[in-house]
Homo-oligomer: A and B are copies of this chain.
Amino acid sequence: MESIRIFSPATVANLSCGFDVLGLCLDTIGDEMIIRKSDKKGIRIIKITGADLPLEIDKNVAGVAALALVNAYETDFGFEIEIRKKIKAGSGIGSSAASAAGAVFGINKLLGEPFSGHELIQYAMKGEALASGNEHADNVAPALLGGFTLVRGYDPLDVIKIKSPEELYVTVLHPHIELKTSEMRAILNPEIKLKNAIRQWGNVGGLVAGLYTSDYDLIGRSLTDYIVEPLRSKFIPGFDQAKKTAIENGALGAGISGSGPSIFTLNKGLKNATSVNDQLKEIYQKNNIPFETYISKVNPDGIRIIE
C-alpha cells in the first residue's frame, strides 16, 4: 500500500461523570486525511484545507504525533500528510485528536500495522500535548479504538474499550462561541469535596454497568456531573435550557462535550435523537446564537479507511 485515505472521527470526551477518563466515538462528523509513502524520509504535511493550521511538523498536532511514531519505528521512507479538516477547532469534539489519531493510524497501516490500536494511543497523545499542554487520551482513545473508552490510568497507560448498546445515538450542538481549553481547565478547583467525588465515582460505575448491560435508564441516571459541569456550564450560553429541554424530550442525559462549548446528548434510538436535536436547534435559533448540530450513532470501530 502506497497511500491511504481515511475518515478520522470527532469524539465526545468526559461524558458528564467521567471527567478525563471517558470518551466516545462519533460517526457522522470527522476529518479526511490522505497519507502517502514518500521516498524522502521524515514527515511532511503538504496540504491542509478547511482550517488555517500550520504546515510545520512541530507546530501541527498531526505532525507531532506522526513524528513520535516514526521515531519509534525505523523506516527507509517517509510520509506525506494531507488534511481536509471538517471538525472545527475549539468545538470540544476532539478536533486535534482526530488529526493526531488519524496521522498515526494512517502511517501504521502503511507500515503494515506493526502497532495495535492501543499502542497507537501513546503516539497520538503527543499531538494532544501540543494542542492542550497535556498528554491526555480521552479523545484519541475513542478515535483509535471506536465505541466508548475508559482511560483507567496513565502510569502506565491503560485504556479499556467498553461495550455499548446498539441503539445509542448522540447529538452534538456546537454553539459558535470561543472557549479556550486552557481557561476551561484553569477554572476547575484542584481540590473537590470527597462527598461529591463519591457521587461522581458512583455514576462512573453506573455508566459502565449500564453500557455493558444495555440498561438505557441506568446510562441516563449516571450522566450527572457534580464536579466540572457546574463550573463550566456558566460559560456556555443556553446550556441549562438546552439540557433541561433535552431531558424533557426524552434524552437519556446531556452535558458538556470535552471542555465545551459543544453540548452532547445521549439518546435511545435515532428518532429520539432527531427530536431532541430539533428542540435544541430551536433554542439556539431563538437566542440568535449561530451553531451546528450533528446526530450520530456511536461509531463502534473508530477511524476507517475510505475509498
Contacts and interface: CB of A to CB of B under 8 A. Distances in A.
Given A21-B201, A201-B17, A201-B21, A160 B209 contact: yes
Interface in A175-223: 188-195, 197-209, 212-213, 218, 221-222
Contacts of A208: 204-205, 208-209, 212
Interface size class of A (residues with CB under 8 A): 35 or more
A69 B201 CA distance: 30
B152 A221 contact: yes
Interface string A153-169: 10000101011000000
B194 A18 contact: no
A294 interface: no
A200 B201 contact: yes
Interface of A: 17-22, 150-153, 158, 160, 162-163, 188-195, 197-209, 212-213, 218, 221-222, 227
A190 B193 contact: yes
B151 A202 contact: yes
A202 B155 CA distance: 12
Contacts of A160: 205-206, 209, 218
A297 to B, nearest CB: 21
Given A158-B221, A201-B17, A218-B160, A152 B191 contact: no
Nearest to A208: B208
A22 B204 CA distance: 12
A153 B22 CA distance: 19
Given A206-B152, A206-B158, A209-B150, A194 B189 contact: yes
A227 B18 contact: no
A232 to B, nearest CB: 13
Given A150-B205, A153-B203, 8 more contacts: A19-B198, A21-B202, A151-B202, A152-B202, A153-B221, A191-B193, A200-B201, A204-B208
